Every structure is written in structure tokens, then in C-alpha cells.
Structure 1
Amino acid sequence: MSFTEDQKKSNQPEKVLLTGLYSSEIPQYKASEYLDELEMLVNTAGGEVVGKVLQNRERPDVSTYLGRGKLGEVASLAREKNAGMIVFDDDLSPTQARNIEKETKLKIIDRSGLILDIFASRAQTAAAKTQVELAQLQYILPRLTRFWTHLSRQSGGIGTKGPGETQIETDRRIIGKRISVLKEKLEKLDRQRKTQRKGRDGIMRIALVGYTNVGKSSLLNALTHTEVLAENKLFATLDSTVRRFDTESTTVLLSDTVGFIRKLPHHLVDSFKSTLDEIREADVLLHVMDASSPSVLEYKAVVDETLKGIESSDKPTLLVFNKTDAVKDPEVLAGLRREFPEAVFISASRGIGLSDLQLKIEQQALTDYVKTEMNISLQNFKAISYIFDSAEVFYKKYHDEHIEISFRIRKDKLAKLEEMFAPNDLISSELI
């Protein structure tokens, strides 16, 4: 979070007013919950919410989102609360943003802009920084005229992080070129990641997915005894983090991934392709949920829908309800157990239920993978190469005319391997 000069001197957070809509499709209580989540986003960005306004409209006004009358009331309330910014729960069109800013004389940002700002402050690696910059430029491009005039009089604050003032002052052609460069850079990083992932093919890969702030990083730390950053804030994790997890009978790779959220901007999903590939290429998903959240089932639906969008909804999935120690009503927990009898109920922070989860992971590994030992003719270099590329090799010994090798491989890949053998190529084979 960056501050304006006055805020830096006083060390005070930026004061923000939130606004959104409710309708026959989105009831008022639900819209109020959305604003509560938007407040968490503002807090994560370093701001302070001083007021919330909900307007009853069946659809946003095409010019001002709220309608000019209501917009005037919101602007007056913002000045009364000494708020310098209005954050809208829905994405604004360039025309809406320009008209609202002109009408209110206040700083305006929508939900996507706020999420992008948080991502910019949390990006640590080269890949994350590149992905964030690409998403921001794609967000800025259709709003370029407004950003030129808007940012020329701003020295900081929520929504102003990004590729820098010089980028914003450039024309569309230069930004378009920059977008092309960033896409090429991400493709290169993606190829590097694929090379890194190639050596993991013989090990079962599990991706931790879930709504943001449900405790995925805490669970990864608890299972692998590592210290991945885990904060009680939205989007604490941007880059996927991979850790080895050894159980009594198997080894798996656990990947912590960026948390999902309602209305996650589509250009952000596209930009974070490299990170989301950990989900696409995982053998199993560990869908982590916050059992103590009153919106747990709604958040589950959001994650399920997002997984459909990245073509990962058909993967084997283990449901994990975390933070069970924070559930105050025992009947709530009992209801979840009845509705999801195959789920695992844990508290990552207190180590509750982790042995049950480990058992589920081991059972899944036994379902999908097999260990085998083969003696293969050295003439069949294609099959031998496939094993080293697609399996986890435990032992190998070269003889004059054959190789003795033991490995773990996915069952579907074992079937493909067996198709590569001519009658005399496979001297012996035994499951172990």
C-alpha cells in the first residue's frame, strides 16, 4: 500500500467509502456480505473503511452506476466521513468511472482495480510481478484517458501501484507493445516451469485450492513442516509454492496456489496462467474450506465455478474443512459432516485431523499409482527414456544387455509404457 504525501506524514490509512447494489437477484443481505468482503480487500490494501452504501437497483446505471441522485448522496457522505476514495463492488466501465470521478471529484476504484492493487503489493517473484503488470496494463488500456488525467494529480494510494507513472503517460501503441513483451516473457517462464515440472511426473501432485484466506498455506506448513508465508489476509499467496510431503507409504508434491475470490477478474486469471497450471496439471485437488465461515458453501460454489473456468473441475478432489476449532455451534459442524461424509475435518493451526487427511492422501495415491520393477532390454531406449521422464525412479542398475529398474508411475502411464514393448524387450516385470 502506498500513501499520498499527507498520509505518509501522518502515517494514517487512506479512508474509503464502499458502495454496491442489491436487487431481486441479489438480496440486500447478500449484497451486504459482499461489501463485508470488499472491506477485507480494502483492509488488505492498507485502507480504512469509514462507511458503506447499498443502492436498490435492478441493474447499474449505464452512466453513473448508482444514478446521479444517489451518486450525489454518496459523494456528500464521503466528504462528511473525510473519505478520499469510493470503492465500487462491481467493475465500472470506462464511461462510468470517468463520469463518477467528474461528478464526485473523488478518487474512484472498482473491485478489479482493488484486487490488482493488492496483487501488485504482494508480488515477490519475477513471474508474479510480470503477471501483475500484464493484468494491470490490460485493465488500464481501455481506461487510458481517465488514468492519464486521474493519476497526474495523485501521488499514491490504493489503485495507483503498477507499471509506473511513465507507463501510464505513454500512448496505447506503447502499452500494446509492452503487453506483447510481457506475454512473451510469461511464455518463456511457462516453458521453464514445464521443464521444472517434468522431473516430477513420477510423483503424485496435489494442488491446494480454495477461497482466499481459508488456511491453505497453514495446512501446507503443517503437513510438510515448512514455513511458507501464512497471514490472516486475503491473497497472502500469489506464487504457487511446491513442497515434498513424505508419508509412511508414499511421497507426494503439495502445491499451494493463489486463493480464489468472487468476481475474480478474467484478465487476472489469464495473466496467472503459469500459477494456475499447477492446478491444471495436478493429479488431485485438495479443496480447502473455512468451516467457521457462514458463507462456506457459497465460497465452495465460487471455487467450483472457477475450476470449471480453468478446465479443472473433473479432477479427483478431496474436500477439507479447515478451522474446525473456530466453529462455535456444534450443529453447524455436524451439518457439514452429514452433507459431506467423505470430507476431512481439520484444524491446520492446532494439528487436529491431520492424520486422517494423511490417510486419505495415501489412499488416493494407492488408487492412482503403482510401484513396479522391470528388467528391460537396452535396445528399447524409447521405453527406458519414457520411464525416466514419466516416473519416479527409485533404483537402476545397468547390465550388459538390459537395465534393472524400479519406479513408481501413474496407472494410465504404465498402460502406455506397456504398449512400447516388443516381445523380447521386457525380460521381467513385477509389481512391488
Structure 2
Amino acid sequence: MDNDKTAVLLMRENPANPIDPYRMIELRGLANAVGYRVLQEIKQRRERDHRFQIGRGKIEEALSCHPKKLIFYNPLSPTQVFNIRSEFPAQVLDRFNLILEIFASRASTREAKLQVELARLSYDAPQVRSELALKKRGEQPGFRGAGAYEQSMYHDIRGRMAKIRGELKEVEAMGEGRRKRRRELGFDLIALAGYTNAGKSTLLNTLTGSVVNAQDQPFTTLSPTTRALEINGRRTMLTDTVGFIDDLPHFLIKAFQSTLSEIAQADLVLLVADLSDPLELLRRKLVASHKALWDCQVTAPMITVLNKMDRLDEFDARMRFDQIKDLAPNPVMVSAHSSQGQESLKECIYQHLPPLKEYQIRLPYTSRSFGVLSRLYGTAELLDVSYEDELVLSLQGRAEDVARLSKAAEDERAK
């Protein structure tokens, strides 16, 4: 960790709606994840200060530690950032920008880098627009009017955002094509979702025997990672996705739409939660995860995977299990680390996969028919073959395969 990368954390609590203590712990974890050494944590309970978000005295107290950055839990408006920088020798960052800094450090694929850049520009555009408005009102020192440079910067940002959206649309189309091909090959698609650092990547490794990077830190996974998993003869693709976190703006979810579509288009979602979290925190994270899934327009069946049960004794685990049932559809307790509960989870997954249908297909005796037959073997289970004036096949498969393969058979018979 860089010794010069120091920070003081600041949080303002509304007197009518206090912030729970775990939020500062989470902010510290986010700061540590991107390499900041936290010198002090400062809280203040008061109404919002329109100039600085928090009281002037608290900012002066923070600066007495000589940090490189002041990191605010509360979102800062462009005016507040300008005011703090103008009146104090301070670099400032709010929680959202801290998260973007983590994302930028984790992004390794072109898709992830584009999504992070789009999120950054989506944040910067209104900031630049606000600065232009301030200049036009003469509120900045040395004001000479909003010149061509500032106007050009704003239009450049908007143009770059449009270009990135176009590129990500292509990525999303490729993802849709990939999902379609996997389904045609007979795979069910399962997505891992949940609050950041709940153990999704470790669970992927445990279930599939793979070695995906899994670390005890937030936002390890930014780009989807997919591995094959067979359960009782059902072939599935299990995809790990970016973790959720509280109070993310809607535009950040929109920026990561190409990644989050892996959840939205899945046949089954595994919502992973850390059962070892304090009860109040566990409930808050589940609520945040459900909100994010709602924003992603998820309609697939859901299993709640209550992970890290090995960190609790049996009584505590069962007590928490009972106390969060209202937020945990189809709950299963597991430990991705020790593999406890793995077989119960697999059985639950099997029970909630899209049901298979039995159907019958007739094919003429032609060379093309045997091509259709080979595809049938790859996507459905052959139950019986009768050799009559035509080939009569009894099969069991997914509903969409029924429609697609039946159409192929009808087309062949019509030739």
C-alpha cells in the first residue's frame, strides 16, 4: 500500500434518519480496496450543509491529519466539490467516485473498461454542465464567461458517451447470440448475483471445480465469467457477475447493462448472501440486492444461497436463516469455502431449472433428417425411436427446444 495514499473518511448523518454503523465500515473497506490508508473516520449528525455537505469544523479537523484525500460517504454536488476545493487545501472524493476508482483498477477486459468509462462520463457530464452554469453566473474566481473550450468539453463528453453506448450495444448483441447458441446446445443458463464480497466467485469455483480469481475484497469480478456445470444430467452454464452495493445511481447500472444482461436473461438466478454478516447488515444487503435485481428487470426463478455458514455455529445459522426468510426466496445454507451444503444446493438448482417437456417428432428417411437427428441428440434426451414409414422420435427437452426442433422437422417433412 502506498504510504502517500492517505485518506480521512467523513460521513454526515441526518438527525431524523441515522446511518447504521456498518456503512462507515463498508466505506473503509472500499477505501482499503483501492489502496488508501485511512488516518481517521469522522462522523457528524446534522442537517445537510449546502456549501460543504458537512460542517466546516469537521473538514478542518480532517485536514489536521494531513491526508491526501478527503473521502465522503455522502454524495457531493458539483458546487460542494468546488466550494471545498476553493476554501480548503484538499482533494475530495465521494463514495460513488471511490467505487469508480475501484472499478477502474479492476477492469481488465475491453468490455469492462468501456463500461467503467461510460459510468465515469455519465457522472462527469452533469458536473461539467454545472460548472458551465457556475461560470455563466460569475461564481468562479477569474470568471471571463464560459468559453469555447468548456462548451467543447461538454459536447466531446456527450459524443464519447454515444460512441461507447454503440460499442456496448454490439457487445450486448454478441452476448445475446452467445446465450442463444448455448441454449441451442442444450444448456440452461444460471447467473450468480448478490452483494459485493458475498462469495460468488468462490461458489463458482466450488460448484464447477474451476480456479476463478476469488479474493476477500469488493468488486473482484467486473466481467462475466462462465463455467459449465452438470447436475443430474442437466447441462448448465454458471456465470459470475459484478457485485451489487447500496445506493448506486441508476446510470451506473445502465453503464453495466451488457454485463448485467447475463442476470436479466438467465433461466435461474442464484442470489448469494453472506450469512455471517450481522443480522441488520444481512437484511440491508438483501434489500439492496433485490432492488438491483428489480432494476435489472430479472424475472427468472431465484434461489437464495446463504453462504459462509461455516463461520457460525448451528444455532446461530438456523436463527438467521429463520429471520431473513421474508427476503430469501428458496433459501439454502452453504459454505463455498468448505463445500458444506453443496449437494443440497445442486438439488435445489435441479428442482428450479426450466421444466423439460416430452414430445414426439416425425422425420422422413432423408440425409437431411439425419442432420436434424444429430442436433436432437445434442439438445434433448432421446427416449425412444420407432422405425415406421417415417422415423418417429420420442424426446424430452426444454420448451424452446421443442418449438425450434419441431419446426426443423416440419420443414424437412415439407421438402
Corresponding residue of 1:283: 267
Q: Which of these residues, 305, 324, 327, is aligned with residue 320 of structure 1?
A: 305
Q: Which of these residues, 274, 281, 289, is aligned with residue 303 of structure 1?
A: 289
Contact kept in structure 1, 2:78 and 2:131, CA below 8 Å:
no
Corresponding residue SS for 2:51: coil
Amino acid at match of 1:19: L
Corresponding residue SS for 2:337: coil
CA RMSD of aligned residues (A): 3.5
Q: Distance in 1 between matches of 2:106 and 2:265?
A: 25
Amino acid at match of 2:179: R
1:375-414 equivalences in 2 (<5 Å): 375-376=362-363, 392-393=379-380, 409-411=397-399, 414=402
1:173 matched to 2:162: no
Question: Gaps spanning 5+ residues in structure 1: where?
Answer: 2-10, 149-166, 427-432
Contact kept in structure 2, 1:13 and 1:46, CA below 8 Å:
no
Q: Distance in 2 between matches of 1:281 and 1:402?
A: 38
| 1:373/1:172 CA distance change after superposition, 3 Å | same
Corresponding residue of 2:361: 374
Corresponding residue of 1:22: 13
Contact kept in structure 2, 1:78 and 1:84, CA below 8 Å:
no
1:244 matched to 2:228: yes
Corresponding residue of 2:116: 132
Q: Distance in 2 between matches of 1:220 and 1:204?
A: 16
| 1:23/1:191 CA distance change after superposition, 3 Å | same
| 1:82/1:363 CA distance change after superposition, 3 Å | same
Q: Distance in 2 between matches of 1:333 and 1:411?
A: 38
Q: Which of these residues, 30, 36, 39, is aligned with residue 28 of structure 2?
A: 39
Report runs of 4+ in structure 1 exceeding 4 Å deviation.
145-148, 167-170, 399-408, 415-422
Q: Distance in 1 between matches of 2:358 and 2:165?
A: 40
Deviation at 1:285, TM superposition (A): 0.8
Q: Distance in 1 between matches of 2:176 and 2:220?
A: 24
Contact kept in structure 2, 1:249 and 1:362, CA below 8 Å:
no
> How many residues align structurally?
382
Q: Distance in 1 between matches of 2:207 and 2:394?
A: 27
Contact kept in structure 2, 1:392 and 1:408, CA below 8 Å:
no
Q: Distance in 2 between matches of 1:171 and 1:193?
A: 33
Q: Which of these residues, 201, 207, 232, is aligned with residue 216 of structure 2?
A: 232
Corresponding residue of 1:117: 101
With 284-293 and 184-193 compared, the bigger mean Cα shift is at 184-193
Corresponding residue SS for 1:220: helix
Deviations 1:6-32 (A, max 9, x none): xxxxx415111111122244325x0x3
| 1:214/1:181 CA distance change after superposition, 3 Å | same
Amino acid at match of 1:270: K
| 1:293/1:362 CA distance change after superposition, 3 Å | same
Contact kept in structure 2, 1:207 and 1:282, CA below 8 Å:
yes
Q: Distance in 2 between matches of 1:222 and 1:44?
A: 24
Deviation at 1:61, TM superposition (A): 2.4
Corresponding residue of 1:190: 172
Q: Distance in 2 between matches of 1:90 and 1:412?
A: 47
Corresponding residue SS for 2:182: coil
Q: Distance in 2 between matches of 1:147 and 1:47?
A: 28
Contact kept in structure 2, 1:130 and 1:186, CA below 8 Å:
yes
Q: Which of these residues, 363, 386, 392, is aligned with residue 351 of structure 2?
A: 363
1:254-265 equivalences in 2 (<5 Å): 254-265=238-249
Corresponding residue SS for 1:222: helix
Corresponding residue of 1:51: 40
Amino acid at match of 1:193: G
| 1:27/1:79 CA distance change after superposition, 3 Å | closer
Amino acid at match of 2:379: E
Corresponding residue of 1:354: 342
Q: Distance in 1 between matches of 2:212 and 2:358?
A: 31
Q: Distance in 1 between matches of 2:320 and 2:307?
A: 12
Q: Distance in 2 between matches of 1:253 and 1:372?
A: 24
Deviations 1:258-296 (A, max 9, x none): 000011232211110010000110111101110111111
1:198-209 equivalences in 2 (<5 Å): 198-201=180-183, 202-209=186-193
Corresponding residue SS for 1:286: strand
With 346-355 and 329-338 compared, the bigger mean Cα shift is at 329-338
Deviations 1:347-404 (A, max 9, x none): 1111111011111111223x5234656334599x9xx99x979x93567x9x999777
Deviation at 1:96, TM superposition (A): 1.2
| 1:146/1:105 CA distance change after superposition, 3 Å | farther
Deviation at 1:250, TM superposition (A): 1.3
Q: Which of these residues, 273, 277, 295, is aligned with residue 257 of structure 2?
A: 273
Corresponding residue SS for 2:192: strand
| 1:414/1:169 CA distance change after superposition, 3 Å | same
Contact kept in structure 1, 2:379 and 2:401, CA below 8 Å:
no
Corresponding residue of 2:68: 84
Question: Gaps spanning 5+ residues in structure 2: where?
Answer: 133-148
Contact kept in structure 1, 2:190 and 2:236, CA below 8 Å:
yes
Identity %: 31
